[in-house]
A and B are shown apart, each in its own frame.
Chain A
């Protein structure tokens, strides 16, 4: 300790970066760290799994075993940056700019039907940006739909005019949700959006009639689609294979069967990263995206698989807390929409790998390879953090 330390003014110096970070009102202290760290951990695990699934797929990587690893990390970094932007802008400010995002997303979704639209794995759900970059606009709809609905549904309630949204408001919100859903032809994404709408309605306090009405409508819609032959054959086959995996082990049932073998053979502790024979042998299709969980199951075993489920659980637990602690209905609805989104998409993705859900092309949030879904997931995290830092400090 030097002589200068006698100077009393120096004791106030800790008001430096560290002190500011530690201050009760600092951004760092107000951020939801379990949420952030869990999402980051999922991204790290996801990078390893994507790497393992693609490192010897020369037909995809063009000979560079690290190609997908690098791209996945890049996607995550861009996603985190987007989350930071959302946090900086703040979800409150989006309340007045919602229509801009809504219309932008709608245009992107509609662009799929123009020549720059691209079909991957049977779903015409992509935009080819050239240079090997593809965008899946329906991912953005998962952000804009609950945002738009939240703005409409919460307007009168947050203003103190009503306790619950009235019928006309609910109807308007549903119309706003229905427009992009009607444009999107991707079955998996439509199912996610439907569940998000359900979550939003629940959290908005709309009357039970609306909630049950929506569920009934969804079921009726599903039956109608089925009866009217609106599904493509591959979509029907996926459901048929789910109902009876032994149906055609070399064809339709192949994916689910191989996925189950991959996961089952992992045992308690797994075969070790890069050691999975199902993975190295490329027996499971779409393993870096839709079936990423099979890599975890085979190579990291039950412990690795359970860790991913626990981390997703932490993300959803934090999202639920944020919804509960939000100071206004607008924030609550957004958070609840994110919970419904992550919950359904995780359950569907892991569930199909485990053979308890039919196959639908949905990525596992933060883990699966895929830029747009990564960006969307991080934007959702940005929204949640934004809600979190604006809650009262007394909490």
Chain B
């Protein structure tokens, strides 16, 4: 009390004043502590939140790089279109939320107000398409097909169209040179999904919500290179979204161009000839079913034999990739992907699977030689091969007596291969296999790369299937429940009987399986590109080339060229000698064998051409036509589903493609001047001084002549 002056105050009051003081300072300390916690301990977190609060990005899309053919002709590039877009933030600031402006705009563009308004509304869970999926700060495109007239009206009456811009913008275009659509190989673009943006967030090529990404084909494979880097202007905005300053941004960097090994001229010919072959087949009546051939789908691959570079790749049915530009309509999408569409988006050269039929016999031959059967030995080519009460027929049930494997390939003798398949199955222990069966014929197939993707630089390649013992077991485990259920049914049709059999012994590789396997029938599935790789390996001395479409990536300024080197993924499972022997036999096919009638006056001395025909049976369908051919330069494999024999349905088209490549005239003479590509294109296209790739074009009429060549 000594310090405190005489106040006459009671001790109760003093104590309470001290208590009040303590409370007051505790409160202040609390504030200080909380302040420390927010600002110093958690400051960084709030700093990030504040940054996210006030910075908004506006994207300047990068111009997507072009996809060029081997001679620099663009297969995919950009065209300048007049794009009318609306700034949502500006519209929303108006009293009527932009209604008046959009009404005027709709009038100019010959659209209804609703159509325009729907385009600028933001997508959310309740809003159906059409709606804007991107950032609300991004100008929203209303049309990319404005006429110059419309654009001028909008620009001249700028005061009537606040927030509306009409500017030339680069839009993807697939020009189809020489009518080479190249659709499935090129693929298409579509707007990025939220998920993809999320996934790419922390990678070195983040996606913006306005981005288009390659969905399929080359657009997908080389998406990263083609896309470039979008520029971003970052604006500082206030709470109401009003711009109050500009923050650091990034400039847009155009995407690189991709030069492919596709030759648009050959591509055009391949597409047209495939289509012709299919149409032709539909005019013919299938003797087995008595109906005209369906010829519902087909594919052709033209590949460089030594390098695996793809010169042409066509798949039928196809579509116009321009349909995707500027957003695809629901109707169009259904037409391309719906149940009744026959799936034109599929690239059947790498995604179509079918039993190979007789073109598989080179695999069986190589496997047989590996198993110890001499190539030049004598094998009985009977009219049929019997197993128990089952008879496996030769084609048209003709026999040739004892012949070599080479001759068996030439005349495509089934019975020789039946016997080989059966013997090998028995040697491996038959229905109760040895611990480590040799499975020479199956291993040969895998050795040729069948049953696994070739690794071509196109997405979604399928692997096909080699039905060895291991596969049988797995397949049975997967399906036994369904089979056994079906076998309980009272019906006595083919399906039920098969199910019954499969239910009990489907896990076993039966003798019959191995017999028909040897001629490429049964459960075996291959893709055209796999067979092209296999045949190319015979043509190039045993190298299993990896097919490639991309040849080089050229930076937008033309200074950096990143070549994509041809690759190989191993060697064919055959000795050099065997390969040479098979090669010789395949030459016999075109000179005196099953395809000879298609290559009647071919200049074999100048350009030896080898081939193998195949006619594969598919349960419940007409036969699949296969024709696998190669020269020293090119390998061409064509297949048409439900179209009859290999040489019959595919022969003329393949012949016409070769004619165009080498300039072979109908009389069998070679016109070097008319030849489109007598040897594979080695050099990359020339690059001009300002970095543009020079296109080397051929007269359209010359290409058209080859493209539209009739079948003999």
Contact = CB atoms under 8 A, between A and B. Distances in A.
A391 interface: yes
A394 to B, nearest CB: 6
A355 to B, nearest CB: 8
B32 A309 contact: yes
A268 B39 contact: yes
Interface string B658-678: 000000000000000000000
User: Chain B at the A interface: mostly helix, strand, loop or mixed?
Assistant: helix
B5 A395 contact: yes
A336 B17 contact: yes
A343 B34 contact: no
Contacts of A278: 50, 53-54
A268 B40 contact: yes
A199 B47 CA distance: 40
B389 interface: no
Contacts, number: 167
A14 interface: no
B43 A164 contact: no
Given A203-B13, A324-B17, A332-B9, A282 B43 contact: no
Contacts of A354: 31, 34-35, 38
B54 A347 contact: no
A281 B235 CA distance: 12
Interface string A336-367: 10011001001100110011100000000000
Interface residues of A, number: 60
Interface in B47-75: 47, 49-51, 53-54
Contacts of A150: none
Contacts of B13: 203-205, 329, 332
B52 to A, nearest CB: 9
Contacts of A283: 53-54, 238-239
Contacts of B39: 263-264, 266-268, 297, 301-302, 305
A309 B39 CA distance: 15
A252 interface: no
Contact of A264 (B12, B19, B23, B49): B49
Interface stretch (A21-29, A233-241, A312-320): A312-320
A49 B407 CA distance: 99
Contacts of A298: 50
A323 B9 CA distance: 11
Interface residues of B, number: 46
B371 interface: no
Contact of A205 (B5, B16, B19, B50): B16
A163 interface: yes
Contact of A309 (B35, B49, B50, B236): B35
Contacts of B239: 281-283
Nearest to B16: A202
A281 B38 contact: no
Interface string A198-221: 010011110000000000000000
Interface in A152-186: 160, 163-164
Contact of A297 (B7, B35, B42): B35
B31 A351 contact: yes
A326 interface: yes
A262 interface: yes
A284 to B, nearest CB: 8
B40 to A, nearest CB: 6
B43 A280 contact: no
Interface string A64-90: 000000000000000000000000000
A267 B8 CA distance: 49
Given A263-B46, A305-B35, A306-B35, A324 B14 contact: yes
B528 to A, nearest CB: 56
A61 interface: no
Contacts of A394: 5
Counting from the closest, the 6 A-B pairs by CB-CB distance are: A264-B46, A265-B50, A281-B238, A267-B43, A302-B39, A343-B24
